[in-house]
Amino acid sequence: MVSLLLAFIAGAATCAIWRAGLIDSLHSAFVVTVGRGEAPLQGPQTWLGLMLIVAVSMSAGFIVMRLGARRSFWLLGSGFLATAVASLLASWYLKIDIIFAPLAMGAVSGVLAVQLYRLWLIDSLLTDRVNETSSRTDLVEAAVGPARLANSLKLLHTILPLEEAVVFQPNEIGELVPVARARGNSNATMEPYRNKVWRQLVELCDRAVQSNEIVIANAEAIDPLENVAMPVTHEGRTVGALLLRLHESFDQADRKLLSAVGGQIARNLQREEARQKKLDGNLPAFVSARTSSYRLHAFDYLSGVMTEQRFGAQVLAETSDAYALAYLDGTIGYLNFAMIHSAQITKDEARNLDLFGLLEQFKSGVFDEPSIAVRRVLQSGQPYERELSFPERNQTLELRISLATENQGRNGNGHGFANGGGKPLCFAIRVRDVTKLKEFEKMKSDMVSLMSHELRTPLTSINGFAELLALDDQMPAESREFVQIISNESQRMSRMIDTFLSVTQLERGDKQEVVHIPLRLDDLAREVIATMQPVAKKKRIRLVDQPNSTIPPVAADKSLITQVLMRLLDNAIKYSADRTTVTVSTVLEAETVCVTIEDRGYGVPADSIDRIWEKFYRVARDGQEKDEESTGLGLAFVKEVVDQHGGSVSVESEVGRGSKFSFALPRL
């Protein structure tokens, strides 16, 4: 509607010009001149001519708006030529004037009006997008520009013998003015001739900007210091100057370093400029030098941001771990050399890989369907982690597939978008070679197992002889007490060794005894609750199974998961006050089944939360000694079992109000 209105106005203006006789000379070029004595050419009535001009203008404007200027050029050009020929023929043979010139002028004016409107719309949208992008809070912040300039000068002070460093930037009339300054000696006094020296230093910086080269004024040329002025540029555009006042002669080997620091200073100046200036969308860039200049500044700033963001890829190239980034359409965006080496492909093959082609290179027994792993990551937003074993090449790799989201980049949280995180951006794939680590762990576990087995023999003898001594009725009471302590402590040591050996076996990855079967965790929880009821009744603690909707099975070893539940329930009972309640609930969370044991016990102090899964760690509560009955291995065993099943553990606790221990396993 706006386009038609503009075309109508253009047609009306053409009508006014025609009626004023301003295009009579142009009009006569497209009709055959009438000789003397011949009847004059017959033209349309005035009202009809006005309507035709407006109609042609609106039609031409509508065609341009719908088809665009390029596609409508041939249609309108053909119509122009056809009408011009028709005008000449009609005036020659029929003596009729079809007012070609006003019609053509109306069409041209309608096309121009609509095309200018289209350009204005596109220009306004571009201006809004540039403003929106260049003012994003994660790219530009109020204090970032000055702070980063100060940091740049501080860096120069650490590597150069500086008395003073100053950053200049042109003001609105093109004069260089200081925007950041750092002195080596903050207590230095101003010389009497400081103003004259300052003017000469500014002139030195002007020469550097105009020549786009480093300009050096040797000692005594301006003052006793050696002064170095260099332009600060980014992407070929000079945005200011850097003045360095040195105690010693300038070392030419520092040119490369200064060029790199100067580029960073230029990007910081552009960042601050983008924060302070905002494009004016009232005038299109093609008719406003001010808008065009501001837009150029904004694009330079965005170019600087893109340059800095490319640093991340360069850093990944230096890591020993293998990294790859893949877009959400499966296209590989980045591969570092370590990933190419781990996937055992060439650089040429890497160019043609997509996400699934890359993951196919890591297929193994526990990772035989990459598409399922990708689907799980997309649906849940949670990382997919597996340990991949390749016996044929004696290698063990650790694979992690995750989604990078907007919130991760801004606040560093690790939650997926399914749990309230930001919009997903791309896949991040990490592969780590843990072969040597696994060999070391196996060696350590073997040694620990050997030592533990060797300890069992003397402990069995100690416990056996202690029990025999306790059977002697003639033994004094005090000696009997000592013998009982020996027996109890030897039994506790035996239990600790048994648990420690179980953890060691799991850490070593002895999976020949682990049998994964479809297992309903809610049914298993009810069985364990029934088993632990006698223990709970001794403290008058009520065990509650919280029913839930249908729970899908998981692939797990029933014996190991039963031990996990029993240890968690035993802890909940042991560390809860009498006459309290322990609740066991099983729920489905996205692609995992989660079991939670909640008690109203003593709770775990905040400073112990992160350490309770460590081996031999025992919680010391305020005013209490560490539990001597505890081995410090129960929760370590729980975590190791759950990790072996590809699950995760978590704990929430508040001192004096109870704890909530949970573990989650992938559903089938």
Query: Among 423-427, 538-542, 628-632, which stretch is predicted with the lowest mean pLDDT?
Result: 628-632
How much is the pLDDT for 272?
Answer: 72
- Residue-averaged pLDDT of the chain: 78
Top-ranked range on mean pLDDT: pick from 119-128, 191-200, 206-215:
206-215
The secondary structure of 511-560 as a DSSP string is GGG---EEE-HHHHHHHHHHHHHHHHHHTTPEEEEE--S----EEE-HHH
* Token couple for 610: 């992160």
Nearest CA among 234, 303, 301 for reference residue 262: 234
Model confidence at 400: pLDDT above 80: yes
Residue range 10-37: mean pLDDT, rounded:
69
> Residue 512 to residues 117, 505, 557: CA-CA distances in angstroms?
75, 11, 11
Task: Return d(Cα 612, Cα 159) in angstroms, integer.
Answer: 46
Tokens linked to 528: 């364990």
Residue 317 CA from chain centroid, whole number: 18
Average pLDDT over residues 7-30: 77
pLDDT value at residue 412: 46
With beta carbons less than 8 A apart as the criterion, state whether 191 and 197 touch: yes
What is the model's pTM?
A: 0.48
Query: Of residues 251 and 28, which shows the higher confidence score?
Result: 251
* Residues 587-645: tens digit of each pLDDT: 888 788 899 999 888 888 887 887 888 777 777 655 444 444 566 677 888 888 888 88
CA atoms within 13 A on the CB side of 442: 9
Q: What is the pLDDT of residue 15?
A: 85
Token pair, residue 498, equals: 């048994």
pLDDT the model gives residue 399: 92
For residue range 564-574, list pLDDT tens digits in order: 998 899 888 88
- Which two three-digit tokens encode residue 520? 């309903």
Beta strand 384-390 with 517-519 is: unpaired
> Cβ distance 44 to 52 under 8 Å?
yes
53-88 confidence digits (pLDDT tens): 888 888 888 888 888 777 787 888 888 788 778 777
Q: Do residues 438 and 507 touch, judged by C-beta distance below 8 A?
A: no
Give the highest mean pLDDT range of 116-125, 149-158, 469-478, 528-537: 528-537
pLDDT score recorded for residue 194:
67
Does residue 430 carry a pLDDT above 90? yes
Q: Which amino acid is at 580?
A: T
3 state DSSP class of 58: helix
* 8 A C-beta contact, residue 214 and residue 257: no
- Got the DSSP string for 432-479? EE-HHHHHHHHHHHHHHHHHHHHHHHHHHHHHHHHHHHHT-TTS-HHH
Q: Write the pLDDT tens digit of every residue in 135-194.
A: 554 544 444 567 777 777 887 877 788 888 899 988 878 888 888 888 766 554 444 446
Contacts of 419 (CB under 8 A, 6+ apart): 381, 382
**Could you give the percent of the chain with pLDDT greater than 90?**
6
User: Does the pLDDT at position 203 exceed 80?
Assistant: yes
Chain segment 489-538, per-residue pLDDT in tens: 888 788 777 776 766 666 555 444 567 788 888 889 889 999 889 888 88
Whole-number pLDDT of residue 193: 45
Please give, one letter per residue, the 3-state secondary structure of 329-352.
CCEEEEECHHHHHHCCCCHHHHHC
**Side chain identity, residue 614:** E
* The pLDDT of residue 2: 82
Q: Is the pLDDT of residue 36 over 70?
A: no
Please state the φ and ψ torsions of residue 143, each to the nearest 5 degrees.
Answer: -100, 0
